[in-house]
Amino acid sequence: MNIKSLLLILIAHGSLYCTEHISSTVSNGQSQEKPHKSKGIFNPFIDNLLADESEKRHMAIKDMRLDELYPKIEEYFSYGYLEYAKTALERVVTIEKNQTKLKDARLRLAKVYYDIEEYAEAQSAYTEFAELYPGSDKTEFAKYKAVDCGCKQISDCDRDQKSTREAAKVAKEYLGSKTCQEYRNETKELCELCYDRLLDHELYVAEFHIGRGKYKPAQKRIDYAREKYLPELPEAREKIEKVQQALDEVTNARTKRLEKRKTKRAKKTKVADSSEIKPSSETEFEITSLDSKTTPAKPSKKKKVSFADRF
């Protein structure tokens, strides 16, 4: 497919999204113009054609020779076709034997990765460049960009922080190098960003444990955050103490509830023990009366009366 045919397809593709005006009646009886966007029945078909054309272009680039690649790379950059430029530079890095041209191609490829937001590939490319060309005047820039790419991949505080820890490690390595001075302030800011995210993660987990009633794991998280990140972020003390205060409040309230229950239980036990040991006077009376009822009465002896006394 030639360029003219591709342009015609693009024009047709855009025309299917033209804006049409339809009138609708509102409650007061007046008509109101509203824009309506066509659904574009043939859009999937045209999208497939464009995708096939793009795939063919990428395959063609992968088969180009070096003398064909370099002019195409400049053409792709001039038109902003970064995806095609990426494929062409990947091909150059694979087959180029000239070390000077290869070094430039590696650095340009890393920048293309960064521009199209493929930060993992960009970080790998910049790191590889710094390792392969330690004497280059672009080595320090490559190390800084590797830190920058790592910070672009840090996760939210409620997610796993593996990428954030790796970015912080790379930043500390840059700051620990005596030869890296040009981008020191920028790298320090990126390093603080990583540590701040790691601190937020620890406090997030601590608050989660507090909500679940797991106070010991929460305290361990707070202690770890205070020990690990407070030296790097002195201004974060207030943030840490706020979570510590929340934990102290719930633990104190829990302790008071337990003490109250313990006191109440002790009182009930004391009352029960006293009622079993000391019987009441009514109980004694009932026992006495019961004994009197159960004991049989002795028959009374009648006095003998003489015959003379009877009259």
Confirm if 222 and 247 have CB atoms less than 8 A apart. yes
C-alpha span between 195 and 235 (Å, rounded):
12
Please give the average per-residue pLDDT across 230-245, as a whole number: 94
Range of the domain at 117: 46-150
Which of the two residues, 194 and 25, has the higher pLDDT score? 194
> Does 213 reside within a domain?
yes
CB environment 296-310: b (16+ within 10 A), e (fewer): eeeeeeeeeeeeeee
Residue 145 sits in the same domain as residue 175: no
pLDDT at 132: 95
pLDDT at 57: 76
Residue 127 sits in the same domain as residue 184: no
Residue 113 sits in the same domain as residue 204: no
CATH number at residue 80: 1.25.40.10
Sign of the dihedral defined by the CA atoms of residues 269, 272, 274, 277, in that order: negative
Asked if residue 137 has pLDDT above 70, the reply is: yes
Residue 122 sits in the same domain as residue 210: no
Question: Out of 35-39, 229-233, 274-278, which region has the weakest mean confidence (pLDDT)?
Answer: 35-39
C-alpha span between 158 and 204 (Å, rounded):
7
Q: pLDDT-based confidence at 208, cuts 50/70/90? A: very high
Q: pLDDT-based confidence at 23, cuts 50/70/90? A: very low
Asked if residue 38 has pLDDT above 60, the reply is: no
Q: pLDDT-based confidence at 234, cuts 50/70/90? A: very high
pLDDT at 260: 85
> Does 305 reside within a domain?
no
Q: pLDDT-based confidence at 81, cuts 50/70/90? A: very high
Residue 215 sits in the same domain as residue 146: no
Q: pLDDT-based confidence at 299, cuts 50/70/90? A: low
Question: Out of 12-16, 114-118, 121-125, 215-219, which region has the weakest mean confidence (pLDDT)?
Answer: 12-16
Residue 158 sits in the same domain as residue 259: yes
> Does 175 reside within a domain?
yes
pLDDT at 16: 39
pTM: 0.66
Confirm if 193 and 232 have CB atoms less than 8 A apart. no
Judged on CB neighbours under 10 Å (0-12, 13-18, 19+), 165 is: middle
Asked if residue 42 has pLDDT above 80, the reply is: no
Boundary residue ending a domain (113, 131, 150)? 150
pLDDT at 266: 79
Please give the average per-residue pLDDT across 86-96, as a whole number: 94
- Per the structure block, which two tokens stand in for 254? 């829990």
Residue 70 sits in the same domain as residue 138: yes
Residue 209 sits in the same domain as residue 254: yes
pLDDT at 276: 58
Confirm if 9 and 50 have CB atoms less than 8 A apart. yes
> Does 53 reside within a domain?
yes
- Per the structure block, which two tokens stand in for 271? 């009352």
Residue 134 sits in the same domain as residue 79: yes
Which of the two residues, 72 and 295, has the higher pLDDT score? 72
Asked if residue 287 has pLDDT above 50, the reply is: no
Residue 92 sits in the same domain as residue 107: yes
C-alpha span between 235 and 187 (Å, rounded):
19
Residue pLDDT, tens place only, 142-175: 999 999 999 999 989 999 999 999 999 999 999 9
Residue 178 sits in the same domain as residue 208: yes
Alpha helices in the chain (DSSP H): 3-15, 43-62, 66-79, 82-95, 99-115, 119-132, 139-151, 162-176, 184-211, 215-228, 237-277, 281-294, 307-310
Neighbours of 13 (CB within 10 A): 17
pLDDT at 22: 34
> Does 113 reside within a domain?
yes
**Whole-number mean pLDDT of the chain?**
79
Separation of CA 289 from chain center: 81
Tokens 């995806």 appear where? 83
Domain count, the chain: 2
Asked if residue 275 has pLDDT above 90, the reply is: no
> Does 37 reside within a domain?
no
